[in-house]
Amino acid sequence: MIRGVVGALLGALFSLSLSVAAFAQTIELKVSHYLPPNHQLHKKLEEWGEELAKRSNGRLKLTIFPAAQMGPMPRQYDLARTGVADIAFFLHGALPGRFPLTEITQLPYVFNRGEGAASKAISTAEASAIVTGMADDLAAEHEGTKLLYFIATPTVSLFFNKGAVRDPAGVRGLRIRHNGPIASAIIEAWGGSPAAVAPAELSDALAKGTIAGMLFNYEAAKSFQMAESIKSVTPVKASAGTFALVMNAERYKSLPEDLRKLIDETTGPEAARKIGALYDAAEDEGEAYLRAAKVDILDLTPAERAAFEEKTKPLAATFLAKAEAKNPKARGFYERLRAAVGRAQ
């Protein structure tokens, strides 16, 4: 009898030790992105990894693979969707047509309060929080992944390898780099010729005159060290691209409940707002970087800004009509997005 009791106790202790070992086991999540290690997003992911490790008592570890080490920019989303990576940060514009509802966020001047001469872009922090807050609307077209947050890029301007361009007529006939189908259509609306060029190749393309300019933003210009290739900037603040941080859905479900909760608590709209604020700060730093390099950054008049915006209105109307024909929810999504932008600070 004593032998039986002792055996039972030993068995229970052994089972408990296995449970404790399993509980204490470190779970590694592979995170992929295509940006350089000096980019603020990479640094933020490192900070996130440190926070997750600390709050999980070392049970959750992020291993980050920057600079497209796990695959080129267009493959980042699928790396997470298929489970090659556990988490990935990707650009929607690199996968045209796959995210039709999300593409509505890229329509010209969608993140601007007011119209025409009164038009003014909201901050990246607010834009990112707004889109992340609408993630439930966008989940279906991100099948196979869990949406952690969206980042709306700082609104793009026209960067040239030549002198100042103050109106759409100055864009006519020029080859301008775009970052997706809507940006391409915006360039065409201004009379330019859209060109697809990878970010890493832009400096060389501008220097050689393969392209005359690009739709870009200040923080990216600094990240890719492009001051020597740029002569002028026309700050049209025309539209924003969108990024998303996504996690493989099955991998997320496989985590213990407390670790899933930890992921949830450190992502979402507030995380998007904080990371968006980093982009806002980086945008200011990027502008200062270009000014220090004597790049001519124009101060457009309200009428000059309005001239660029006016040219894009038919494009926005046409795109939205096509989107609504495919998805009856498209117009409602657009109207709620615009209403949220109108309420933003």
CATH number at residue 169: 3.40.190.170
Task: Tell me, yes or no, whether 307 lies in a domain.
Answer: yes
Does 113 reside within a domain? yes
Strands (E) across the chain are located at 27-32, 60-65, 87-91, 112-113, 120-121, 145-152, 157-160, 175-178, 193-196, 213-216, 232-234, 242-248, 296-297
Give the separation between CA 277 and CA 123, rounded to whole angstroms.
Answer: 8
- 127 lies in some domain: yes
Quick: pLDDT tens for 220-266.
Answer: 899 889 999 999 999 999 999 899 999 999 999 999 999 999 999 99
Separation CA 222–CA 287 (nearest Å): 8
- Answer positive or negative: Cα dihedral of 76, 80, 86, 90: positive
pLDDT in tens, 200-227: 899 999 999 999 999 999 988 998 899 9
110 falls within a domain: yes
Range of the domain at 57: 26-343
SS3 82: coil
Domain count, the chain: 1
Strand partners, 286: none
Residue 196 has a CB neighbour count (10 Å cut-off) of: 11
Instruction: Tell me, yes or no, whether 207 lies in a domain.
Output: yes
Please identify which residue in the block is written with the tokens 């966008």. Answer: 138
Q: What is the Cα–Cα distance from 337 to 315, expressed in whole angstroms?
A: 18
* Residues 276 and 129: beta-carbon distance below 8 Å: yes
Looking at the domain assignment, is residue 310 inside a domain?
yes
pLDDT band at 18 (very low <50, low <70, confident <90, very high): very low
Residue 159 lies in a domain: yes
Whether 14 is in a domain gets the answer no
User: What mean pLDDT comes out for the span 286-294?
Assistant: 97
- Using CA atoms, how far residue 184 sits from 72, 98, 199, in Å, is 21, 16, 15
